[in-house]
Amino acid sequence: MLVMNAPEDRTADGTDQSAPGRLELVREFVNTLDVMEATEELADGPRAAGWLTGHGVAIGDAAFTAAEVERLVAVREALRELLLANNAGEPPPEAALTTLNRQSSEAEIGLWFGPDGADLVTRCDGVDCAIAELLAIVHESMRDGTWQRLKVCPADDCRWAFYDHSRNRSGTWCVMGECGNRAKARRYRERHRDRPATKRNR
């Protein structure tokens, strides 16, 4: 059972970005890279392991190697591509799917049957356990219909993961007052850049 840290799930304007249930772990995992602030929480083995254990993922005592950190980052960026596709309403990129399939094949995930039905469980430790846990949550989200609402902001200098709480699933920007307005201003400048200057009659 995951024990979630209290996430910073609300922006300055009060917008709720948090995902329901265990899907919040996936959102926070994608946001371990803060593009706007240029901060990386998976920079090395100790930091990656600390982040995972701090978010309730049981990884055992093994230290992460540089190669294992690369695997985590590859999974994170593949998930980011899937969330960007969710935002655009497009199929996920093949390269991202290939990465996730390759990484999930090395993790041990099985079915556990209980009185309330079957659930996916992990039988591993270390980086394989972390990847298995994250991908099992993604699988559950795809089944219960919450996955399409988990998105990534399309702004190139943002790429922040957020959960779309809008009634018709039409949210595009992580914060409309920031990324959305900057995109509108940029499009306005582009539209007017090549227009000939006009003289006003006095």
Question: Taking all residues of the chain, what is their mean pLDDT, rounded to a whole number?
Answer: 83
Q: What does the pLDDT look like over 130-145, one tens digit per residue?
A: 999 999 999 999 999 9
Banded pLDDT at 98 (limits 50, 70, 90): very high
pTM listed for this prediction: 0.81
Distance CA 176, CA 183 (A): 9
Q: Which range, of 10-14, 31-35, 120-124, averages the lowest pLDDT?
A: 10-14
Residue from 139, 129, 152, 181 nearest 33 by CA: 152
Distance CA 72, CA 29 (A): 10
Other CB atoms within 10 A of residue 164 CB? 20
Q: Which CATH architecture has domain 23-193?
A: Orthogonal Bundle (1.10)
Q: In the chain, what are the domain boundaries?
A: 23-193
Distance of CA 134 to the CA centre of its chain: 11
